[in-house]
């Protein structure tokens, strides 16, 4: 875990690294592929050799300059030069987006921009131990309502509506989590399992109920966490009464499937092959969105860049929890042409509904539909807020002894 905060100089160095690797490298490789086709057609071996020598020298000089600049900027970051990037909301949004795109690489390289999963409050991490949790969640109830964001998002991507309504109209206490969305869903599920265990142990009062709310990828991470907890013999998952997934690609995301097809098509021609390499450099977390995988067993030892991802290992739902899948489409009905083609812009109706080729991913899941709504509107939607309050208070009433009243 990095001890120094990521700085604007770290972001600049990363941009230079990827500029050298992707932009300069892609232009160089496209240039070489086109020139080779031209020289093969004309048969000029000497001009081709001279041309290749010049090209190698020019692009090598540009790459060397960018690498040198990147190293110099990183040395400035190591000396504390540059403002901590997470001091501003914009900076935190940039870091979240970078993690979604290449978060697995950042973590492997111990880059200070790599996000570590944490409880968040007021734009900062909250250490999960009794004193800081007690200070930041004063007056907390025994009912945790835990929110997990989606790809390239953060705890601040959620609007204020859900937290305000839950606090005002239910017995729940909202808790927002931030995590590195470039990591595998199954790995983030394992991290979430651990974090919730620590959170339950550190909570100011005894936890009697947990609600899990996930947007997009967050819904997969939630299901991955409960699956991991069950498989490893944990107990916190028995407190979960509601699992709420908002626009979650349970059977895969259409946009990631399109990127997969695009990368395969681009790889066919030498001139476009470098652009295929750019698409294939996306993070493991993005690759998981094509498949909707939530367990390690589904991807371990597999080349996911070559697999469409239709087959999944069945993950048993929690027996004491109700599952609520909220589905949106940009069209006014699910049969509208726009809805059929793009769903909510990122996820198709069938995937968000959890309907696979072999049946539903969760038997008995309750489905709610929002027409004329796009994917990101699910982060702060008045109708979803109403449903949240309804689901949480309905379970509160059901838990009361006979003859009791809420309040």
Q: What is the mean pLDDT of each run of 10 residues along the chain (407 residues)?
A: 73 71 56 54 59 61 69 76 87 90 88 94 95 95 97 94 97 97 94 98 97 96 95 95 95 57 39 42 75 70 55 70 96 90 88 83 92 96 97 71 39
By the 8 A CB rule, do 217 and 290 touch? no
Q: Tell me the CATH number for domain 118-252+310-399.
A: 3.40.50.1820
pLDDT, residue 259, reads 42
Distance CA(80)–CA(72), nearest Å, equals: 13
Domain ranges of the chain: 8-87, 118-252+310-399
- Number of Cβ within 10 Å of residue 391's Cβ equals 19
Beta bridge partners of 328: 370
DSSP-based three-state secondary structure for 173: strand
Greatest Cα pair distance, the chain, in angstroms, is 95
Question: Helices (DSSP H) in 140-216: which residue ranges?
Answer: 161-169, 185-202
Nearest to 351 by CA among 256, 226, 265: 256
Long-range residue pairs from 255-262, CB within 8 A, at least 24 positions apart, any chain: 255/346, 256/286, 256/287, 256/289, 256/290, 257/290, 257/308, 259/286, 259/290, 260/290, 260/305, 260/308
pLDDT, residue 235, reads 95
Question: Taking the model in full, what pTM does it have?
Answer: 0.81
By the 8 A CB rule, do 293 and 256 touch? no
pLDDT, residue 76, reads 77
User: Phi, psi (5° rounding) for residue 76?
Assistant: -65, -40
Beta bridge partners of 176: 120, 147
Question: Which two tokens mark 372?
Answer: 């004329």
The secondary structure element, H or E, covering residue 352 is helix 349-352
pLDDT, residue 307, reads 52
DSSP-based three-state secondary structure for 312: coil
Nearest to 84 by CA among 9, 15, 6, 2: 6
By the 8 A CB rule, do 373 and 330 touch? yes
Distance CA(245)–CA(353), nearest Å, equals: 9
By the 8 A CB rule, do 227 and 243 touch? no
């Amino acid at each position: 875990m990095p001890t120094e905060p990521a700085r604007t100089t770290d972001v600049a160095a990363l941009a230079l690294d990827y500029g050298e690797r992707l932009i300069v490298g892609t232009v160089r490789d496209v240039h070489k592929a086109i020139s080779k086709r031209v020289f093969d057609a004309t048969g000029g071996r000497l001009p081709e050799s001279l041309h290749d020598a010049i090209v190698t020298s020019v692009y090598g000089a540009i790459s060397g300059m960018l690498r040198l600049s990147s190293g110099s900027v990183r040395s400035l970051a190591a000396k504390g030069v540059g403002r901590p990037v997470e001091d501003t909301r914009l900076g935190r949004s940039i870091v979240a987006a970078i993690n979604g795109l290449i978060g697995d690489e950042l973590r492997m390289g111990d880059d200070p921009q790599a996000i570590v999963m944490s409880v968040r409050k007021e734009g900062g991490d909250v250490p999960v131990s009794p004193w800081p949790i007690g200070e930041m969640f004063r007056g907390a109830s025994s009912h945790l309502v835990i929110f997990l964001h989606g790809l390239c998002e953060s705890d601040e991507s959620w609007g204020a509506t859900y937290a305000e309504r839950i606090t005002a109209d239910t017995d729940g206490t909202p808790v927002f989590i931030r995590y590195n969305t470039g990591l595998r869903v199954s790995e983030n599920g394992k991290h979430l399992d651990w974090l919730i265990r620590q959170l339950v142990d550190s909570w100011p009062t005894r936890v009697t109920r947990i609600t899990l709310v996930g947007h997009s990828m967050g819904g997969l991470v939630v299901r991955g966490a409960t699956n991991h907890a069950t498989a490893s013999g944990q107990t916190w998952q028995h407190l979960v009464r509601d699992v709420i997934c908002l626009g979650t690609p349970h059977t895969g995301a259409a946009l990631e499937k399109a990127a997969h097809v695009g990368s395969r098509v681009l790889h066919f021609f030498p001139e476009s092959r470098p652009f295929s390499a750019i698409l294939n450099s996306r993070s493991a977390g993005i690759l998981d969105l094509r498949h909707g995988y939530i367990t390690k067993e589904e991807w371990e030892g597999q080349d996911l860049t070559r697999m469409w991802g239709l087959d999944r290992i069945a993950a048993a739902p929690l027996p004491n929890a109700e599952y609520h899948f909220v589905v949106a489409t940009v069209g006014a009905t699910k049969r509208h042409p726009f809805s059929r083609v793009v769903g909510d812009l990122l996820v198709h109706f069938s995937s968000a509904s959890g309907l696979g080729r072999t049946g539903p991913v969760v038997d008995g899941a309750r489905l709610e539909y929002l027409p004329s709504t796009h994917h990101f509107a699910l982060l702060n939607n008045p109708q979803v807020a109403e449903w949240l309050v309804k689901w949480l208070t309905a379970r509160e009433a059901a838990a009361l002894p006979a003859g009791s009243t809420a309040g």
